[in-house]
Structure 1
């Protein structure tokens, strides 16, 4: 109860200012950084307070405390986007990489990369002197498709692979093959879904050959080009627009400051709304910040619930294409066809049953219905029978 009161007070503090900001020129809507920072500060404060209360309730401390604290500080913070209309364009539903000003992936991650065969070429690329040493420490494993299929056939082996590494990346040329093989073990959740990268980055590719699908499948990028791809992937968040009116995208962690969360949120909003939401800001209903198990704090709300003023009608809606009596006509034809299939005795029994139902219905109707004159007469008779006044003077 105390926690819900805290959240309620937090929400009340956050929504003191108007959440819809319009400008005179340019886009009719914009995000207010002050409101975002206020919501981020309140959300982080609430989540940290909940973590402290959880630690106080733990009576016995064990050796896993440090690990638990690290997990608490890595709790994700999401931006929730609600639209007025469903996002139905299939081109907008592809996962998109969005660079962030402040990385949400920690530095001490263990990275596994799924590559096109032969894997030796990419292992040598990572091991070369031209590849950054700091990045080489993070790339722990390079697995080709053939070896992946041989070593990780069973469900248990795939689960063990999933638990062994923090981040998975995949060569964009074999992403479909890898996704089909790994299945729901990796793709049921978005937490460790393999991130597509270009392992041909830095290599020269003839554009005409690329259009004709004649690009050599064994093209290997340069150490500098591939390293830049991996660094960009580690410093980005990934958007998978669902075919609905709601979607969430990770914009930070609990360890970040309110200012860092504000900058990340602004960068994500600037990338999503113009490119991935049809009609842009006009189709956005609300933007919220939330944690994994917290209420959503509003940072932007639309004034109207429609995308076009033509959708607002002055009179009740009338469907011109609605044909009155169509259902009744269909039912009548169906009953006629049924009667044709019956013999004389069955038809007579059905007609008699219908007559009984009709008579019973009329009788009940007579009992229920009383005319206005009769009702007035009954009321006057009841009042005249009362000898004493109903209300004492």
Structure 2
């Protein structure tokens, strides 16, 4: 009987590190040439992230596209948490069978655990104080990373709107904030992960690195881990995967995995 390999180990068995590394190096050369060929500095927000592009064999069921999936990475896409402006959205709605999560409780717990959160924002305050486009834009620009109680994640697209979700730059990362849960582990994992939001088509992307901000070997580590994480949450796992590519937002997509289709004569 063959050994069953899952998650990270299975991605390593199907996609070689050398294949990933060669694709990343090619993309880096392309990006450096693009920058060198620019006659004038590019103004505005430039997307310098590397992306892992997932192509599924079939369009996913709508249940898979409702909310983002957390993809843990060994190397964070961000600076250390203490140097980040971070906002934690908590669920302060009354609970029928448990105590309401108050700002005071969350603030005390965060401080006692030494977690570097810049601002704690109650769901009720988010809904009342950030109704306009301008207020939502100001909130978006005030923080580098947003984390949110998993129980309110499905509500946030309607509350935060297109300001947050159109380009998916700062979608809140879901974290488990049960009173008896391990907040420190959950939030630390939230700082060191990427998000996969399965699209309503067959292609979706997840950030795995940033130009100029990470060594090639660390980006390879992230790609291997991301493939394992993506497959775990993808419909039918490896069976449903058609291909994986690597790309910048504005580059060609370089293939690192293509499922071989068996044809019948």
TM-score, shorter chain, exceeding 0.5: yes
Matched, 1:230 2:187: yes
Q: CA deviation at 1:160?
A: 0.9
TM-score by length of 1: 0.56
1:32 is displaced (CA, Å) by 1.5
Structure 1, unaligned runs of 5 or more = 1-23, 60-64, 204-220, 315-393
- Could you tell me which runs of 5 or more consecutive residues in structure 2 were left unpaired when the two chains were aligned: 93-101
Task: Give the length in aligned residue pairs.
Answer: 246
Q: Secondary structure in 1 aligned to 2:255? A: strand
1:92 Cα shift? 7.1
d(CA) in 1 for partners of 2:235, 2:124: 39
Q: 1:92 to 1:150 in 2, by over 3 A?
A: closer
Show the counterpart of 1:95. Answer: 68
When the two chains are superposed, the root-mean-square deviation of aligned CA atoms in Å is 2.8
1:77 maps to 2:20: no
Cα-to-partner distance string for 1:263-301 (whole Å, 9 max, x where unaligned): 1111111222254132x4344332110001111111122
Query: Which structure's residues are more often strand, by fraction?
Result: 2
Structure 1: distance between partners of 2:152 and 2:55:
33
Match of 2:231 among 265, 270, 273: 273
Q: How does 1:43-62 map to 2 (within 5 A)?
A: 43-54=27-38, 57-58=39-40
1:292 and 1:145, CA in 2 relative to 1: closer, same or farther beyond 3 A?
same
1:24-70 deviation per Cα after TM superposition (whole angstroms, max 9, x unaligned): 9767971111111111111112212322333xx238xxxxx9x98xx
Contact 2:69 2:233 survives alignment (8 Å): no
CA–CA distance in structure 2, aligned partners of residues 293 and 176 of structure 1 = 30
Q: After TM superposition, give the deviation of residue 235 of structure 1 in Å.
A: 0.6
Q: Is 1:249 equivalent to 2:206 in the alignment?
A: yes
Give the structure 1 partner of residue 99 of structure 2: none
- Once residues 119 and 3 of structure 2 are traced to their aligned partners in structure 1, the CA distance between those partners, rounded to angstroms, is 52
The counterpart of 1:190, out of the listed 159, 168, 189, is 168
User: Would you tell me which structure has more helix in proportion to its own residues?
Assistant: 1
Distance (Å, rounded) in 1 between the aligned partners of 2:62 and 2:157: 22
Residues 94/181 of structure 1: CA separation in 2 closer, same or farther (3 Å cut): closer
> Which of 79, 83, 87 in structure 2 is aligned with 1:112?
87
* Matches for 1:321-360 after TM superposition, within 5 Å: none
